[in-house]
Amino acid sequence: MDRHLFGSFQIPTATLNIFSVLPMLLTIVIYDRVLVPLAHRLTGLNSCITYFQRMGLGLAYFLFSNISVFVVEYPPSCIHGCRPGAIVPMSIFWLVPQYAVHDIFEAFYNVGHMEFVYEQSPESMRSTAAALYWLFVAMGNYGGTLLVTMVSNFTKNSKQGNWSQNDINKGRVDWRHLVTGFFAS
């Protein structure tokens, strides 16, 4: 993918994480400093939405994130007619919306869950509840890795080959994200 920003300046691949962190931080700030005070003035409630509504909104963003990955990762070889192994003539900035949407999910779901844990747990159980939450997040990450491995193993003998190939022009990253998003939802 093309990483040129302007002229001969190329964005280093490692700096793409900034497009992951910024939307999450902006979402937290906008929610906390704009939406909650506005909702408080309009409704008289201390929070804009409940913890469960916030987590549900985060899960909806997660589903939308996987759909956006499916759309953006549609095989560029089909769109551009690239040969296998060729550099896709597509800007790397097509990945920015999916990073942004995914991290809006992170901001709503994880922060909402942490607020729930700290406000609903007894004071002596807060750190234990938070630790259990992050333990289950880690187990979910391992489960996601297992799911991707299973999808790769099931698809390696198909006509198109493994969906998770190193060559993006041969692989089907779009379908892999759709399947893993379906199971994660």
For the ranges 66-70, 77-81, 84-88, 147-151, the lowest mean pLDDT is seen at 77-81
Q: What is the token pair recorded at 152?
A: 């790769």
* Domain-wise residue ranges, the chain: 4-184
- What is the rounded CA–CA span in Å between residue 123 and residue 159? 57
- What is the rounded CA–CA span in Å between residue 18 and residue 25? 10
Q: What is the token pair recorded at 42?
A: 């309009």
Condensed to tens digits (0 to 9), the pLDDT of residues 36-67 reads: 888 788 877 776 778 888 888 888 877 777 77
Q: Is the dihedral of CA 51, 52, 57, 61 positive or negative?
A: positive
Average pLDDT, the chain: 77
Location of structure tokens 């963003």? 61
